Amino acid sequence: MAGGIVVCRSGDNMRFVWWFTTVLLAVFPSTAFGTSVLIVQTEDNTIYLAADALQTWTATNTVERNCKIHQFDGSSYWAAASSFYKTNSGFNVEDVVASIGARGTVDKKMKRFSSAVTEPLKKQAELMNSIAPQEFALYLSKPARVSLLDMAIVGFENGKTTWAVTRFYATKIKGKISIYPEPEVRDNDADKTTIMNGAGYWGPAPRYVKANLLDFYADPAKIITKALEKAASDDVHKGVGGPYAIIRIGALGHTWVQQGECKLD
């Protein structure tokens, strides 16, 4: 897993771009992998949430295309990237989300999700470690900073758009595996540029948006789509692909600006 945030200067009229992608690093039975999500929050109190649709199952090499943007309620949405998004051993991110309910703020939703997902994700990590310990060791590499799961929640509350991102890392001490949730710190300082990057292929999407800001202001959907296409083309594992869905969230509600595999509501 890799992820990052690009926070642009106020003169650029865009607060941040956040993108993550995941690819499977091990041969794990019947696991779905490959997800790319892009969040762009502008200074006019709008969030664009976009995601690819490609899903590949490692055991059968079956390719599917699904909507990866999900609604909590009328004002908040979520998207996740994980090598363990859905497995034949019973783990399913969507089931975990359903179990926590839609009440509360974005931060409260994320807190409940973190509590609910930690133990099931730990069991998946232990299973992978028992089947393919050498491959699982890649998740434990400090330089690589590869997470098991990235969760993003965006919404509109108290008259403003907001977001929360948490990455879930594995640690192994004296043979015991633990899951360490690492929340992304929101940076509200629009006067500076901050780039936080991990390993892998996270970089092309936000760099593309940042390099094409004038075109982004004129046609956000076009530039976001091109950014995700750039990420997919640079992903040597070919786990990311379209069609791409984009939803805009703001003071006037939510609007699907590009449907992709998602149903309009």
DSSP string, 38-62: EEEEETTTEEEEEE--EEEETTTTE
pLDDT more than 70, % of the chain: 76
Report residue 20's pLDDT band, with 50, 70 and 90 as the boundaries.
Answer: low
Tell me if 19 is assigned to some domain: yes
pLDDT tens by residue, 136-150? 888 887 776 778 888
What pLDDT sits at residue 87? 80
Report residue 167's pLDDT band, with 50, 70 and 90 as the boundaries.
Answer: confident
Higher-pLDDT residue of 146, 117: 117
What pLDDT sits at residue 78? 93
Tell whether the model's pLDDT for residue 192 goes beyond 80: no
Higher-pLDDT residue of 133, 29: 133
Q: Among 160-164, 200-204, 206-210, name the most confident range.
A: 160-164
Tell whether the model's pLDDT for residue 55 goes beyond 80: no
Q: Which residues, 6+ apart, have CB-to-CB distance to 113 below 8 Å? A: 96, 97, 100, 151, 153, 166
CATH code for the domain in which residue 178 is found: 3.60.20.10
What pLDDT sits at residue 226? 92
Tell me if 265 is assigned to some domain: no
Among 244, 222, 216, 259, smallest CA distance to 41 is for 216
Mean pLDDT of 242-261: 90
What pLDDT sits at residue 10? 31
Higher-pLDDT residue of 205, 107: 107
- Total count of domains within the chain: 1
Tell me if 27 is assigned to some domain: yes
Report residue 62's pLDDT band, with 50, 70 and 90 as the boundaries.
Answer: confident
How far is Cα 79 from Cα 71, in angstroms, rounded to an integer? 9
Q: What is the 3-state secondary structure (H, E, C) of 191-257?
A: CCCEEEECCCCCCHHHHHHHHCHHHHHHCHHHHHHHHHHHHHHHCCCCCCCCCCEEEEEECCEEEEE
| Beta bridge mates, 177 | 172
Tell me if 72 is assigned to some domain: yes
Domain that holds residue 105: 2-258
Mean pLDDT of 185-191: 56
What pLDDT sits at residue 203? 61
Tell me if 75 is assigned to some domain: yes
For CA atoms 115, 66, 79, 206, the dihedral sign is positive
Tell me if 264 is assigned to some domain: no
Tell me if 48 is assigned to some domain: yes
Q: Which residues, 6+ apart, have CB-to-CB distance to 188 below 8 Å? A: none
pLDDT, mean over the chain? 78
Tell whether the model's pLDDT for residue 3 goes beyond 70: no
Task: Give the position of tokens 């594995």.
Answer: 170
Report residue 98's pLDDT band, with 50, 70 and 90 as the boundaries.
Answer: very high
Tell whether the model's pLDDT for residue 241 goes beyond 90: no
Lowest-pLDDT range of 62-66, 169-173, 235-239, 247-251: 235-239
Mean pLDDT of 217-231: 90
Tell me if 263 is assigned to some domain: no
